[in-house]
C-alpha cells in the first residue's frame, strides 16, 4: 500500500484542486475557533458567541473597529443632569434585515422581553439599573412597569433607579438590540432559524448547520451597508483548538479567535505578523473559600498570596504574553489608578520568609502542614498553572492537592460554596472596575469567596452613585485597596485576546474588548 | 426453519423493550447523579435567571416526576428540547448528526472489511511466511496506536505537507473531506478484522471437513472459497454487529480532530454540559442500534453455521 493506485492519486489531486478553487474569494471571510452558539436568539445565546452575535445584531450603541463606543441604532442621545434619564434618538430609515422599518417600540419590546421571567433570557441582570427591572425579573411587577418607553416613533426613553456609568456600553449588547416581536410570536423557540431570523446588524443569517458552520451574508438594509466589504462570512465552530490551527495553516480559515497556548513559540517564529495578542478586560484568579478553614484565616490567605511570584507565572508558565496581576481590576481598564499592594514590590526571599512565619503563626508547620484542595478546569494551560502553584507552595510547606473537574462541576461547586480553593476566570463586558469588584461584594452572584466587608460594600455603593467619573473611579480604587488588604482572592494574571489573522486581512485595531466585527474587515489584494 | 427464525427474531425484539427501558432508566438517574447542572457552564448567571431557566425546562419538578414525563414523551417519539443547542429538539440534532456519523462509519467499515478481510485470508494461507508476519505486525501496530495519534498525523501529512486533502471540515459531505476521517476510522477496525479473519481461517483450515474436501481432490482454490471462508467468517460476524453500531454512532475523537458535525460531538458536548435530553436521546438511539445489529449478526451466524441455527428457539 505504499504506492497509491494512479487513479486514486489523480482523484485526490482533482478533489484538492476543487477545494483550493473554492477558497479565499475577496469578499468572503472564513472565521474559526468559535464556540457553537447555544442559540441565535440574542437574549438566550451565552456570552461565548458574542463575535457572531455582534455581526447579526446592533444595539442602540455600538463599537468601532478599535473598540471605541460609537452610535449604533441610535444616532444620538441625551442624559439628564441627575444621570437617571436617557433619551435615545433613532437613526432615520432604520430597517430590519427584511426591509421593514424599526421603531422605538421595538426597543421597548426587547427590554421587556429580556426582563420577563420564563423567557430563558441570560443578560437581564446587566440592566438591573433600569427602573423596576429587578422586581420584574423576580416576578413581583409586570413587564409593562419597566422604565423604558417609546416617546414617539424615533425616541426611546430609559429611566433608571440609580446612575449607571456603563449603561451606554451595555446597551451595545445584542441582547438589547431591537427584536422582531411578530416573528418571535409566530415561530416561538424556532424563530432563530435561517429564513426566519430577522436581524438588525451588518449581517443576516443565510445558513446554519449545527457543529459545522454558520453562513452570514451582508444585510443590505443595515444603516452602514455601503461601507461593508465582506459580503459573506462563515463561522466554523470547533471543540478542538489544534484542528482550528491546522485549518488556519492549510488556508482553510482566515481568522482564528484563539489558538493553543503551547503553539505560541512556533507561531511567533513562523507566522510573525499574523499573531495579534493584547490585554483583555479579564482576570485569572484563585478564589479562596473565606467561610471555612483554612481560608477563614487572613494570615493563611496572605501567606499563599504573597508567596507566588506573579511575573514568573505570567512569563514562564502561561507563555502567551499575559500581564501579571496583583489587583482584581486589569491594568488595561481606562483611567483607573490601580491600588497595587505593597508586597508586589518586595523581594521574593522576604515574601517567602514572611509567608512561612504567617503560616507558623496560624498554627501550621512541618508536623502539621497546611493541606487543601485546589480545583481547576480545562484547558490544558490551567493544568500547567496548577502544577506550578503546587510546586511554589510546597516551598513554604503547603500541600495543595489538585482536583481537575469539568466546567459544570467547578461552577456548581463554587456557586454553592462547596469548595476550598478554585482557579477562576472573569471577563468584564464593560471597560470599568465595576464587575471585577462585584466579585468581592456581599450578595453578588459572582462573589464565590464569601468575602463580606460592610465598609467595602458601602464604598461600592458610593462609587455607583457618583456621576463624576474621576470621583467614581477614586471610590472604586479605595474599595479595591481595602478588600485586597484582606486577601479574599488571589489575582494571578490578566487575560489576553489572542487571534491568528491571515496576512491579507486588515481593518481592525486590537482592543481590550476583543471587538473584531466583520463589518470593518477587508482583504488587501 | 424460516418460522423458527422468525419467532426467534420476534422474541428478541420483545426482549429489547425492557432492555431499552433499563438503559434509559439507568442513564437518566446516572446523568442526574453527576455533579453540576445544564447551565452551570455559564458562570455568571443570576440566581433569578437560573431559576427561570430551570422552570422553563421543567427541571424544577421532583426527579421522579421528570422521569415519568420523560418516558411518556419518549414513547410518543419526542426526546424533548436540547439544553445546549436551545433552538433545536434532540430529535432534530440526531437527525443532523447521525447520518454524518453513520455514513463515515459504514464506509470505514466496508473499507476495513475489504482490506482487513483480504489481508487476513492471505495471511492465513501464507501462514508463518513473510506476508503473514508482516501483516500481523502491522495489525498489532494498528490496534495499538490510538486514533488520536493517527488522525492528526494523517491531517498533517496529507493536508498540510502534501496539500492533497482538506485537513478538517465536513464541507457538506464532499468526498475529499471524507477520505482522511474514513482512513482514521478504518485503520483500527482493519487491523482487528485482519486478525479475526486470519484466526478463523487457521482454525478451519485444520478442520476435518477441509481435509475431506482436499482428499476428494478439490483444487485448493475451491476448498478455500466453498468450504473454508464461510466457516472462517463466523467469529468475524459476531464482532461486526457491535463494532458497526459503535462506529456508526460516531467516534468522538475523529469528529473532534476533523471538525465533523457527527453525533459523537453532540454526545460529548451534551455530557459535559449536562444536556440531559440530548445524552439520553443518543444513548437510546445507540442502544437500539446495538440491539438491532446484534440481532442481525446472530441471524447471520445462523445462516453461516447450521449448528448455531439449531440452538435458536
CB B56 to CB A118 under 8 A? yes
Q: Give residue A505's region: left, alpha or beta (phi > 0; psi -120 to 50).
A: beta
Residues of B in contact with A15 (CB under 8 A): 165, 174-176, 179
CB A26 within 8 A of CB A522: no
Angle between helices A348-361 and A298-306 (to 10 degrees): 160
CB pairs under 8 A between A and B: 172
Residue A15, pLDDT > 80, answer no
Q: Find the CB nearest B261 among A39, A121, A211.
A: A211
- Name the one residue in this structure whose C-alpha cell is 500481523: B136
Cross-chain residue pair A415–B165, CB shorter than 8 Å: no
Question: What does the pLDDT read at residue A24?
Answer: 55
Answer yes or no: is pLDDT of A235 > 90: yes
- With bands split at pLDDT 50, 70 and 90, how would you rate the model's confidence at A378? confident
Beta-carbon separation of B86 and A44 below 8 A:
yes
- The proportion of chain B whose per-residue pLDDT surpasses 70, expressed as a percent, equals 97
On whether the CB atoms of residues B231 and B223 are closer than 8 A, the answer is: no
Q: Once rounded to an integer, what is the mean pLDDT over residues B271-282?
A: 90
Q: Is residue B62 less than 8 Å (CB to CB) from chain A?
A: no
Instruction: Name chain B contacts of A250, Cβ cutoff 8 Å.
Output: 159-160, 163, 166-167
- E strands, B15-156, are none
CB contact under 8 Å between A249 and B167, yes or no, is yes
User: Which residue of B166, B184, B194, B276 is the best one to mutate when testing the A interface, meaning the one whose CB has the most A CBs within 10 A?
Assistant: B166
Strand partners, A402: A374
- Arithmetic mean of pLDDT, A113-140: 89
As a whole number of angstroms, the distance between CA A150 and CA A159 comes to 12
- Grid-cell match 508463518, residue found: B128
Nearest CA in chain B to A36: B85
Residue A17, pLDDT score: 44
pLDDT value of position B313: 58
Q: What is the pLDDT of residues B279-296, one digit of tens each?
A: 999 999 988 988 998 888
Whole-number average pLDDT of chain A: 91
A3 versus A297: the higher-pLDDT residue is: A297
If pLDDT is split at 50, 70 and 90, which confidence band does A4 have?
very low
Cβ contact, residue pair B48, A124, below 8 Å: yes
Answer whether B160 touches A (CB < 8 Å): yes
Nearest CA to CA, how far is B162 from chain A (Å)? 10
Q: What is the CATH number of domain B90-273?
A: 1.10.3720.10
Distance CA B220, CA B207 (A): 14
Cell output for A330: 486589569
Q: Which residue among A192, A193, A409 places its CB closest to the CB of B36?
A: A409
A446, closest residue in chain B (CA to CA)? B44
- Residues A332, A79: Cα–Cα separation, whole Å: 27
In this structure, what DSSP letter does residue A368 have? B
Report how far residue A476's alpha carbon sits from residue A470's, in angstroms, rounded to the nearest whole number.
10
Q: pLDDT at position B290, please?
A: 87
pLDDT of residue B250: 67
Q: What are the pLDDT digits (tens) for B205-241?
A: 888 888 888 888 888 888 888 888 888 888 888 888 8
The total number of residues written for chain A in this structure: 525
Cβ-Cβ contacts under 8 Å, A193 against chain B: 87
Q: With CB atoms and an 8 Å threshold, state whether A16 touches B261.
A: no
Which residues in chain A touch residue B93, judged by CB atoms under 8 angstroms apart? Answer: 210
Q: Which residue of chain A is at minimal alpha-carbon distance from B175?
A: A15
Q: A83-92, A242-251, A377-386 — which is least confidently predicted?
A: A377-386
Q: Do B49 and A125 touch (CB under 8 A)?
A: yes
B2 contacts: CB under 8 Å, gap ≥ 6: none
Whether the Cβ atoms of residue A40 and residue B87 lie closer than 8 Å to each other: yes
Is the Cβ–Cβ distance between A517 and A202 less than 8 Å? yes
Please give the model's pTM, rounded to 2 decimal places. 0.88
Round to whole Å and give the CA distance between A458 and A464. 10
**Around Cβ A503, how many Cβ atoms within 10 Å?**
12
**Cβ–Cβ < 8 Å for A325, A280:** no
Mean model confidence pLDDT for chain B: 88
Cβ of B40 within 8 Å of Cβ of A408? The answer is yes
- CB pair distance less than 8 Å for A243 and B258: yes
Alpha-carbon separation of residue A221 from A91, A95, A184, A229, B124 (angstroms): 13, 6, 20, 15, 70
Give A1's pLDDT tier (boundaries 50, 70, 90). Answer: very low
For residue A16, is pLDDT > 60? no
Question: Between residues 272 and 301 of chain B, which touch chain A (CB distance below 8 Å)?
Answer: 272-274
More confident residue, A298 or A20: A298
pLDDT tens by residue, A403-448: 998 877 888 888 889 999 999 999 998 999 999 999 999 988 889 9
The Cα A248–Cα A246 span in angstroms is: 5
State how far residue A248 is from chain B, nearest Cα, in angstroms.
9
Residue closest to A422 by CA, chosen among A449, A445, A392, A441: A449
Q: What percent of chain A has pLDDT over 70?
A: 95
Q: Which among B85, B164, B169 is the nearest to A210, CB-wise? A: B85
pLDDT above 90: residue A245 = yes
Give yes or no for residue A19 having a pLDDT over 50: no
pLDDT at A5: 40
Amino acid at each position: 500500500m505504499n504506492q497509491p493506485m494512479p487513479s486514486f492519486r489523480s482523484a485526490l489531486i482533482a478533489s484538492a484542486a476543487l477545494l483550493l478553487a473554492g477558497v479565499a474569494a475577496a469578499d468572503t471571510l472564513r472565521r474559526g475557533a468559535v464556540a457553537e452558539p447555544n442559540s441565535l436568539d440574542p437574549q438566550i445565546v451565552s456570552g461565548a458567541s458574542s463575535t457572531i452575535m455582534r455581526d447579526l445584531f446592533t444595539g442602540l450603541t455600538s463599537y468601532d473597529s478599535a473598540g471605541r463606543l460609537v452610535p449604533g441604532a441610535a444616532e444620538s442621545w441625551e442624559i439628564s443632569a441627575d444621570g437617571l434619564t436617557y433619551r435615545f434618538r433613532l437613526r432615520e430609515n432604520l430597517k430590519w434585515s427584511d426591509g421593514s422599518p424599526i421603531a422605538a417600540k421595538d426597543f421597548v419590546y426587547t427590554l421587556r422581553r429580556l426582563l420577563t421571567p420564563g423567557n430563558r433570557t441570560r443578560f437581564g441582570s446587566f440592566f438591573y439599573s433600569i427602573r423596576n427591572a429587578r422586581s420584574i425579573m423576580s416576578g413581583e411587577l409586570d413587564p409593562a412597569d419597566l422604565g423604558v418607553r417609546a416617546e414617539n416613533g424615533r425616541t426611546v426613553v430609559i429611566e433608571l433607579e440609580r446612575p449607571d456609568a456603563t449603561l451606554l456600553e451595555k446597551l451595545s449588547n445584542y441582547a438589547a438590540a431591537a427584536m422582531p416581536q411578530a416573528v418571535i410570536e409566530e415561530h416561538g423557540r424556532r424563530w432563530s432559524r435561517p429564513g426566519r431570523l430577522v436581524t438588525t446588524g451588518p449581517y443576516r443569517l443565510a445558513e446554519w448547520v449545527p457543529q459545522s458552520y454558520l453562513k452570514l451574508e451582508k444585510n443590505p438594509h443595515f444603516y452602514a451597508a455601503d461601507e461593508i466589504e465582506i459580503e459573506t462570512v462563515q463561522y466554523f465552530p470547533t471543540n478542538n483548538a489544534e484542528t482550528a490551527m491546522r485549518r488556519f495553516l492549510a488556508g482553510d480559515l482566515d481568522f482564528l479567535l484563539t489558538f493553543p497556548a503551547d503553539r505560541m513559540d512556533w507561531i511567533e517564529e513562523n507566522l510573525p505578523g499574523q499573531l495579534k495578542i493584547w490585554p483583555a478586560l479579564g482576570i485569572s484568579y484563585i478564589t479562596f473559600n473565606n467561610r471555612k478553614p483554612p481560608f477563614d484565616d487572613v494570615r493563611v490567605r496572605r501567606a499563599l498570596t504573597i508567596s507566588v511570584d506573579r511575573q514568573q507565572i505570567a512569563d514562564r508558565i502561561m507563555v502567551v504574553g499575559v500581564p501579571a496581576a496583583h489587583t482584581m481590576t486589569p491594568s488595561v481598564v481606562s483611567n483607573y489608578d490601580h491600588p497595587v499592594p505593597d508586597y508586589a514590590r518586595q523581594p521574593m526571599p522576604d515574601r517567602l520568609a514572611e509567608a512561612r512565619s504567617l503560616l507558623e503563626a496560624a498554627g501550621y508547620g512541618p508536623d502539621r502542614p497546611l493541606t487543601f484542595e485546589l480545583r481547576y478546569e480545562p484547558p490544558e494551560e490551567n493544568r500547567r498553572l496548577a502544577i506550578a502553584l503546587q510546586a511554589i507552595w510546597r516551598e513554604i510547606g503547603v500541600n495543595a492537592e489538585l482536583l481537575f473537574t469539568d466546567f459544570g462541576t467547578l461552577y456548581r461547586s463554587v456557586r454553592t460554596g462547596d469548595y476550598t480553593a478554585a482557579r477562576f476566570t472573569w471577563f468584564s463586558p464593560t471597560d470599568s472596575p465595576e464587575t471585577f469588584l462585584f466579585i468581592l461584594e456581599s450578595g453578588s452572584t459572582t462573589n464565590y469567596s464569601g468575602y463580606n466587608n460592610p465598609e467595602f460594600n458601602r464604598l461600592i455603593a458610593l462609587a455607583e452613585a457618583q456621576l463624576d467619573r474621576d470621583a467614581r473611579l477614586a471610590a472604586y480604587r479605595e474599595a479595591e485597596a481595602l478588600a485586597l488588604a484582606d486577601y479574599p482572592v488571589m489575582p494571578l494574571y490578566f487575560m489576553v485576546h489572542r487571534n491568528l489573522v491571515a496576512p491579507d486581512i486588515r481593518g481592525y485595531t486590537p482592543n481590550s474588548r476583543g471587538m473584531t466585527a466583520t463589518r470593518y474587515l477587508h482583504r488587501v489584494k | 426453519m424460516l418460522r423458527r427464525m422468525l419467532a426467534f427474531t420476534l422474541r428478541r425484539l420483545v426482549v429489547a423493550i425492557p432492555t431499552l427501558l433499563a438503559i434509559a432508566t439507568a442513564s437518566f438517574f446516572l446523568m442526574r447523579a453527576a455533579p453540576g447542572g445544564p447551565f452551570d457552564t455559564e458562570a455568571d448567571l443570576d440566581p433569578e435567571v437560573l431559576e427561570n431557566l430551570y422552570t422553563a425546562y421543567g427541571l424544577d419538578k421532583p426527579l421522579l416526576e421528570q422521569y415519568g414525563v420523560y418516558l411518556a414523551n419518549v414513547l410518543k417519539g419526542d426526546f424533548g428540547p436540547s439544553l445546549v443547542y436551545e433552538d433545536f429538539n434532540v430529535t432534530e440534532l440526531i437527525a443532523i448528526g447521525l447520518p454524518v456519523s453513520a455514513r463515515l462509519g459504514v464506509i470505514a467499515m466496508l473499507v476495513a472489511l475489504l482490506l482487513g478481510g483480504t489481508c487476513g485470508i492471505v495471511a492465513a494461507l501464507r501462514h508463518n511466511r513473510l506476508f503473514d508476519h508482516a501483516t500481523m505486525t502491522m495489525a498489532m501496530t494498528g490496534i495499538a496506536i490510538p486514533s488520536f495519534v493517527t488522525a492528526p498525523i494523517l491531517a498533517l501529512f496529507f493536508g498540510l505537507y502534501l496539500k492533497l486533502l482538506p485537513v478538517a471540515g465536513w464541507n457538506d459531505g464532499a468526498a475529499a473531506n471524507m477520505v482522511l476521517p474514513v482512513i482514521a476510522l478504518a485503520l483500527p477496525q482493519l487491523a482487528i478484522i485482519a486478525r479475526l479473519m486470519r484466526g478463523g481461517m487457521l482454525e478451519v483450515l485444520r478442520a476435518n471437513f477441509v481435509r475431506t474436501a482436499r482428499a476428494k481432490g478439490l483444487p485448493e482454490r475451491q476448498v478455500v472459497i466453498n468450504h473454508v471462508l464461510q466457516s472462517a467468517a463466523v467469529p468475524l460476524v459476531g464482532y461486526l454487529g457491535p463494532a458497526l453500531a459503535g462506529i456508526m454512532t460516531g467516534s468522538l475523537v475523529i469528529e473532534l480532530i476533523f471538525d465533523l458535525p457527527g453525533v459523537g460531538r453532540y454526545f460529548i458536548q451534551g455530557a459535559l454540559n449536562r444536556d440531559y435530553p440530548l445524552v439520553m436521546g443518543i444513548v437510546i438511539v445507540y442502544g437500539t442500534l446495538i440491539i438491532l445489529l446484534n440481532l442481525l449478526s446472530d441471524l447471520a451466524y445462523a445462516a453461516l453455521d447450521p449448528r448455531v441455527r439449531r440452538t435458536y428457539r
